[in-house]
Amino acid sequence: MRNNRTALRRVVDMTDKGLEVETDHQIELAPYISRAYHWISTILTHGEDMSDAEIARLRKQMRDFVNGGQALYWQRQGMYFGSVLLAGYYYSLSLAVLCFLLFQLTELIDNRTSRIVIKWQGNDGITATRLHYMLFVSSALSSSSVSLFAFLIARMEGPSPHFTPLFFLFTAALFAAVNNHQMPKILIVRLVCYGFVFLFIPIYDLWLVKPPLDNPLWLYFFTILFVLYFVVDCSMIFLRLYRQGLDQLDELRLERDRAKAAYEVKSQFVSVVSHELRTPLTSILGALGLLISGAFAKEPERADRILDIAHKNSKRLSSLINDLLDLQKFESGQMTYDFRPVNLSAVMNEAVESIGGFADSSKISINIVKKDENLKVRADHDRMLQVFANLLSNAVKFSNEDGRIDISVGTKDGKAFVSVRDYGIGIPENSRALVFGKFSQIDSSDHRVFDGSGLGMSITEQIMQAHGGTIDYESELGKGTTFTLEFPPGPNT
């Protein structure tokens, strides 16, 4: 395809330099060849912007069309043979043979194009559109041959009712209405071609004879109009029914995709929850079993350590259950908020205190590098504390040992913002869906280093949306991540 377009471009370049043909007048070919080039180029490149769903729909339409056409091959051959036999006996044998050969030529083109369509398994919009044009052209040739056959017979009859040629056209038009509804453009070109000749035959008779209104020729003309209306109406009915079927198929495909997505979320939920429940429960059960057995009755220090481990794992289970309950509230629309003026710096101080023990055990220092003590926004205090604590715990979790976390609270461009920056492992590119997805993590393997339900950031994003704010991040692998919260203007923004 690229070579064809390059050749066409060279022809246009030659004409632009002044290629001309000598006739009675000097005619410059450049504008005409340029127009032809642009027309062909449009056909070759049309379809680049088609979506996968549009390509799939067009592919199904084309395959339904060609499969239906191939199934009716012998039926069409019978119609051709019968009409040609009558024309050869009653009108002209040479005309009948010539038209029969023309029918077979168009059938050969149709069959060749149909085989190409059936063999095509790709998902390329340009190829789909090119095949569509090929079907369009082959159908136009086929309908033109039938129309020419009927027109020639009508001219041999002279002014008359033209029952035979008009019946041939009516049969072809009705056949197209019933069997070509999969491709609206092809159906239209067939009906336009048949309808034009259908009207031209009686109109030409009226123009030759110029009969009065009470002449039967006028009656034949008005009857033809009624028949045309009937054919067009049948075509619209079949087209509408077929499109309804396609729409229902698209809906089923969409529901299938939704069910598949829901199944994947369910699988992720089962995997994450089972992993997050199994580890702390095993630890708690083991610790309680040792204590009940009295193995450490004479070693209170070791017993205290075991109790501390059991307590930490209990808190981990409580956090998971709270996340699941919050998620259920979001899904059902039952999450409630107590909006009032909230001092962001004060809430951040609380979050730093709550996460202090975790940070100390990981040898991570937390620094507030910028803080506006009087900055207030309209928010729910407890939910903001939950958001800040989640950002800080993630920053600690994904920081390197002896690392630090920088916090900024202030205003920018009339909006309040809070940023939490760590200098840890960072986040890979194009991972936003994993960062803010439900039950999703960057490392979702069973042997991952960092624990978590995969719900924290999803809940954080939904809380920020409920506050009319946003959350975003910037990250570089190996150098850390900065999460930034922005709030709409508040009382002291």
What is the chain's mean pLDDT, rounded?
78
**Burial profile 408-441: b = 16 or more Cβ within 10 angstroms, e = fewer:** bbeeeeeebbbbbbbbbbbbeeeeeebbbbbbbb
Q: Kindly indicate the confidence band of residue 168, based on its pLDDT and cuts at 50, 70 and 90.
A: confident
Q: How confident is the model at residue 102 (pLDDT cuts 50, 70, 90)?
A: very high
Question: Among the listed ranges 30-39, 233-242, 342-351, 429-438, which one has the minimum average pLDDT value?
Answer: 30-39
Residue 484 has pLDDT above 90, yes or no: yes
What length does the chain have? 493
Report pLDDT digits (tens) over 290-300: 777 777 767 77
So what's the pLDDT on residue 275?
59
Find out whether 364 and 493 touch, Cβ atoms under 8 Å: no
482: pLDDT strictly greater than 90: yes
Distance CA 60, CA 66 (A): 10
* pLDDT above 50 for 23: no
Average pLDDT over residues 13-27: 43
Section 438-462 average pLDDT: 63
Choose between 282 and 7: higher pLDDT. Answer: 282
What does the alpha-carbon distance between residue 318 and residue 312 come to, in Å, rounded to a whole number? 10
Looking at residue 385, what is its pLDDT? Answer: 87
pLDDT at 71: 84
- The 10s digit of each residue's pLDDT in 249-289 is 777 777 877 777 767 766 766 666 665 666 667 767 777 77
Q: Is the pLDDT of residue 130 over 90?
A: no
> With 80 as the cut, is the pLDDT of residue 161 above it?
yes
d(CA 187, CA 393): 64
pTM: 0.47
The mean pLDDT of 150-162, rounded to a whole number, is 87
Statement: residue 39 has pLDDT above 70? no
Q: Decide: 29 and 19 in contact? Cβ < 8 Å.
A: yes
